Structure 1
Amino acid sequence: MKAVILAAGYGTRLNRDLQNDSSGCFKHLCGIPKPLLPVGNKALISHWMAALDKIDSIDEVYVIERLGAIACLQLAITQFNINDHVLILGGDTLFYEDFSLSVVLARFAELQSTNCDSNLVLSYFCKDEETTKFGILETDENFQVTAFKEKPRSTETTSRRACPCFYIYSKNTIPLIAKFLQEKQNSTLEEKDAPGNFLRWVYSRKPVFVHQVRGRFDVGNLPAYIDCTTYFQKHRKELLI
């Protein structure tokens, strides 16, 4: 399995917050890419690198930038001739203490043993008023994705399954990324760029299942960053392996 860390974001909202921070406590973080922000005892991306390094089944890790998330992903696939399962995660995301990378990978292996086309994504329950902030997954009784709604109003779906940027795509699914980009070549950058848009496109073509976690930190603005780093300082925990 290969791992790809998406680090293409410019951190516009976070840097605006940092520049406007009246306390002055965070000015030194201005201009630092989100994956390199200090969280607990190490940079955010280093939490992931330490966790991935301990997983024997992951033999390569790629950090990709610019071009947009999906285009960057395809560039890595082409450049390094990737023909394997791929774990894709956001370089600005960490999870709560119940997250276990080894458990997630074991679940993916279980799905693969039944159907080699199967893919796995994470989800967590959000509040009613938060559905307009996230991509929301609808699933059947087997936890297979049946619909993906982008930032719906709470009245537009009964599901509260938010979908963070953490996907494991099978090696049978990876070739579809090029097809997706070809179909979307005349679409807006946002439609081609957001990694959730590929998930929304692919779930009707290949089976996608969810693995539930308690929650995540998405370091998109200063309050979110403060929550994240305070949590990791308090718990003094690494990512669970």
Structure 2
Amino acid sequence: MKAVILAAGYGTRLQRDVVADSSGRFAHLVGTAKPLLPVGSRALISHWVHALTRSHCVDCVHVVTNAVYLAAFQEWASHFTNVKIVSDQTRSNDDRLGAVACLQLAVKHFSIEDHVLVIGGDTLFKEDFSLSKVTGRFSDLQAKDENSCLVLSYQCKEEETQKYGILEVGSHLRVLCMKEKPLPSETKSRSACPCFYVFSKKSLPLLDQFLEEKKEAPIDEKDAPGNFVSWLIPREPVYSHQIAGRFDVGNLPSYIECDLYFREKLQDVESYMV
């Protein structure tokens, strides 16, 4: 199995908050890509590489970034032996390829023909999350059907449904559909789906089909990786694995909350997410 970490975003909301902050406490974060932000004792993305390495669930970690942050990611990656970097060649948020196209880029650039674990570069999970448990569940699903894919879900508040993709799940936790940012009245489900997916190698060619169908669509329809998941659900068996929750570093308050948790509350940083 291979891992692809999507890290080509420009973090515009966070950077806007950092620049506007009058305290000066976060001035050192100006110009820092979200995955490279210090969270507790290491960079956010380093928590993933550490856990992926210790769990032995992948044999390589591929990171997709952009031309602006390429040098910073290359410097960061030089401290690991199992990380490879590719740039999407863009230089602004307006020119971004979108997350699905970045995943396709990684698959093609690195000639990936294996199952792929896709991770959002600005996301971390609560301490109940375990890569070993997730990949074990995926293996069980694969033993029954080689087309099976796996996504995560956690319970969100009623008023938060309009912020996330919401999964509706049937028997054996098979996903029936994903509704993008629905009103609470539009679904009884409160199962939010974060950017963490295990795609079977059989599903990878469908990236090309999805992007071909969406080639004339606005960037919003190609950007969020959940759009591909939603498109995939009627075509392949997709199952859900439940977790307690996540840290989503989208703005300065959410970054501060995440960093504080990892500094003061994380029980065991070495076994975290393993």
Which category of TM-score, normalised to the shorter sequence, fits these structures?
over 0.9
Written as runs of structure 1 = structure 2, the 5 A alignment for 1:90-169 is: 90-169=120-199
Report the alpha carbon displacement of residue 52 of structure 1 after superposing the two structures with TM.
1.0
Structure 1 Cα separation of the partners of residues 261 and 120 of structure 2: 19
Q: Distance in 1 between matches of 2:57 and 2:119?
A: 16
Identity %: 59
- Report the residue type matching 1:193 in the other structure: D
Structure 2: how far apart are the matches of 1:178 and 1:55? 30
- Please give the root-mean-square deviation of Cα atoms over the aligned residues, in Å: 1.0
Q: Deviations over 1:179-212 (max 9, x none)?
A: 1001110101110121000001000000100100
Aligned residue for 2:41? 41
Q: State the SS of the aligned residue for 2:4.
A: strand
- Residue type of the partner of 2:183? R
SS of the counterpart of 1:210? Answer: strand
Structure 1: runs of 5 or more not aligned: none
The alpha carbon displacement at 1:240 in A equals 2.5
Does structure 1 conserve the Cα–Cα contact (< 8 Å) formed by 2:57 and 2:131? no
Distance 2:54 2:202 in 1: 25
Map of 1:28 onto structure 2: 28
In structure 2, what residue type is equivalent to 1:168? V
TM-fit CA distance, 1:53: 1.2
The 2-side partners of 1:159 and 1:64 are apart by 32
Deviations 1:115-166 (A, max 9, x none): 1111000110000000001010100021111111110110000000001000
Alignment of structure 1 residues 165-204 onto 2, 5 Å: 165-204=195-234
Structure 2 Cα separation of the partners of residues 127 and 47 of structure 1: 27
Alignment partner of 1:7 is 2:17? no
Question: Structure 2: where are the runs of 5+ without partners?
Answer: 66-87, 89-96
Which structure has more relative contact order (CA 8 Å, sep 6+)? It is: 1
Q: 2:118 aligns with which of 72, 80, 88?
A: 88
**Helix, strand or coil at the partner of 1:142:** helix
3-state SS of 2:172 partner: coil
TM-score under structure 1 length normalisation: 0.97
Q: Distance in 1 between matches of 2:222 and 2:52?
A: 28
Deviation at 1:76, TM superposition (A): 1.4
Deviating beyond 3 angstroms after TM superposition, the runs of 4 or more aligned structure 1 residues are none
Give the paired residue count. Answer: 241
The TM-score, its normalising length taken from structure 2, stands at 0.86
CA distance in 1, matches of 2:34, 2:264: 21
Which one of the candidate residues 259, 266, 270 is aligned to 1:229? 259
